[in-house]
């Protein structure tokens, strides 16, 4: 019943095996700064020396940033590189058990700050332009509030800021978590993958694979499917201290918008952001509802704040036609201004 004219499921699975291992990441980069588990990548096209204005990507800690450069045709990095930007990407890496004590301070005042200063120093700029993706956007917004003179343009993509305004199933799952009273190690990445999949089980466990015989008919489409598959289930383990602080302070207590969040002894106030902001969100995002992203408008004066609402879901912001036709042109336009 799931067979197509050319390929059935068994044959599709065999083709999947033939295509292994899938290569994620289409654009070459060099690691220019490292402090394990963190690293800072600088992308470059083979025949092009990046000389345009620097642009820093800050991705979520939950998944790998490969999503931004899955293949040559599904990449946010490449068109921005082609547009002349000097692209840097902050990779939070794969934390080990020894990293279980990493905290928000180590992420923001530590490595993110190091990365921003590295770019400022190497590219001789006072402030950098930065794009925050999903939870990476939340971290970047905190950084821009703590170090306002370091960020010139701030672009947020599908970024939650108000965690109570329109609770999703993800918020409800976070509410059901109880911070362990005793000793704990890192949060296993596989547990996170399963939790995300459990938000839409029939879609992700059954319907997604119904399409496989159809997908397997074309090698390029199959490779993209396998790249996505590999990305979806590649969640790094989360450092215990950082994870529980993020869950309790952001999700459960909504401390960021209530002005009650302290990082490194400093109060994080979103109205301290002096950067010019472009806030991009997806209207049908099942993880980050528009209201959770749009709440930033309450903290930034309208002459420095802009929004772009895109029709589609969370991943559409980074992949596919919505990203190509709406998101990337809006970013280029914003940063050129």
Partner 1 sequence: MTTSTDPLAAWLRWFEQQQASTGTKETGGDQSTPEPWSKLLDESLGRFVHTLSNASDWQQCLAAHVNTAMQDAARLATSVTNPLAHEADWLKHFSAFRAPPHGNKDASLATELFGHVCTWPALGLAAADDGDWQAFQEAVPAFQGAGERYSEILFTMMATALTNWQKALESADSPPTDIDFIRQQWLDALESAWQTMLKNPEHTRRLRELNAAIDQLRTSGTRMANGMFRALGIPTREDLLGTQRRLQQVRRKINIMDQSTELAMLREDVAMLREDLAMLRRETAAANHGNKT
Catalytically annotated residues: 134
- Contact between 51 and partner 1 (CB under 8 A)? no
Q: By CB under 8 A, what part of segment 88-107 binds partner 1?
A: 97-102, 105-106
Q: Of the candidates 23, 73, 200, 311, which one interacts with partner 1 according to CB under 8 A?
A: 200
Question: How many residues of this chain interact with partner 1, rule: CB under 8 A?
Answer: 45
Question: Alpha helix (H) ranges present in the chain?
Answer: 9-18, 77-82, 104-105, 113-123, 135-146, 169-175, 189-197, 201, 208-210, 212-215, 219-232, 240-245, 290-294, 320-322, 328-336
The residues in 170-199 that bind partner 1, with binding defined as CB under 8 A, are 172-173, 175-178, 180-183, 185, 199
* 55's tokens: 């642009």
Among candidate residues 200, 191, 236, the one with its CA nearest the CA of residue 66: 236
Of 252-311, binders to partner 1 (CB under 8 A) are: none
CB 245, min distance to partner 1, A: 14
Please, which residue, 264 or 320, has the CB nearer to partner 1? Answer: 264
User: By CB under 8 A, which span of 6-14, 53-61, 148-156, 158-166 interacts with partner 1?
Assistant: 6-14
**Whole-angstrom distance, CA of residue 222 vs CA of residue 218:** 6
Report the residue from 82, 149, 169, 284 that binds partner 1 according to the rule CB under 8 A. Answer: 169
Checking DSSP bridges between strand 54-58 and strand 86-91, what pairing results, if any? parallel
Nearer to partner 1, 184 or 258 (CB): 184
Q: Where are the beta strands (DSSP E) in the chain?
A: 29-35, 38-43, 54-58, 86-91, 128-133, 151-157, 262-263, 266-267, 276-282, 305-310
Q: Which of 133, 337, 161, 156 is nearest to 249 (CA)?
A: 161
Nearest-approach distance from CB 269 to partner 1, in angstroms: 24
Query: Phi first, then psi: what are they for 154, rounded to 5°?
Result: -120, 120
For residue 3, the minimal CB distance to partner 1 (Å) is: 5
| Sites of contact with partner 1 (CB under 8 A) | 1-11, 13-14, 16-17, 20-21, 97-102, 105-106, 110, 169, 172-173, 175-178, 180-183, 185, 199-203, 206-207
């Amino acid at each position: 019943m799931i067979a197509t004219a050319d390929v059935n499921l068994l044959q599709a699975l065999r083709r999947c095996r033939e295509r292994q291992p899938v290569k994620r990441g289409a654009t070459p980069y060099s690691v220019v700064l490292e402090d394990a588990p963190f690293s800072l990548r600088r992308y470059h096209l083979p025949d092009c020396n990046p000389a345009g204005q620097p642009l820093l990507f800050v991705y979520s800690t939950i998944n790998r940033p490969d999503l931004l450069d899955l293949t040559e045709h599904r990449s946010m990095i490449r068109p921005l590189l082609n547009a002349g930007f000097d692209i840097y990407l902050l990779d939070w890496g794969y934390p080990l058990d020894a990293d279980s004590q990493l905290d928000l301070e180590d992420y923001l005042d530590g490595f993110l700050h190091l990365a921003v200063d590295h770019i400022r120093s190497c590219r001789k700029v006072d402030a950098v332009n930065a794009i925050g993706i999903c939870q990476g956007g939340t971290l970047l917004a905190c950084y821009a509030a703590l170090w306002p003179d370091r960020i010139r343009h701030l672009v947020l993509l599908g970024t939650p800021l108000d965690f109570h305004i329109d609770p999703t199933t993800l918020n409800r799952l976070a509410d059901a978590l109880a911070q362990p009273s005793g000793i704990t190690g890192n949060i296993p990445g596989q547990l996170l993958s399963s939790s995300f999949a459990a938000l839409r089980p029939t879609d992700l466990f059954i319907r997604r694979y119904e399409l496989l015989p159809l997908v397997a008919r074309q090698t390029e489409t199959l490779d993209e499917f396998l790249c996505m598959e590999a990305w979806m289930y590649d969640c790094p383990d989360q450092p215990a201290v950082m994870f529980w602080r993020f869950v309790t302070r952001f999700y459960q207590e909504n401390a960021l918008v209530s002005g009650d969040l302290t990082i490194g002894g400093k109060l994080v106030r979103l109205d301290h952001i002096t950067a010019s902001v472009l806030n991009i969100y997806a209207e049908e995002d099942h993880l980050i509802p528009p209201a959770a992203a749009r709440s930033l408008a309450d903290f930034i004066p309208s002459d420095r704040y802009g929004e772009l609402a895109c029709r589609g879901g969370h991943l559409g912001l980074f992949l596919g036609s919505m990203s190509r036709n709406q998101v990337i042109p809006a970013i280029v336009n914003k940063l050129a201004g």
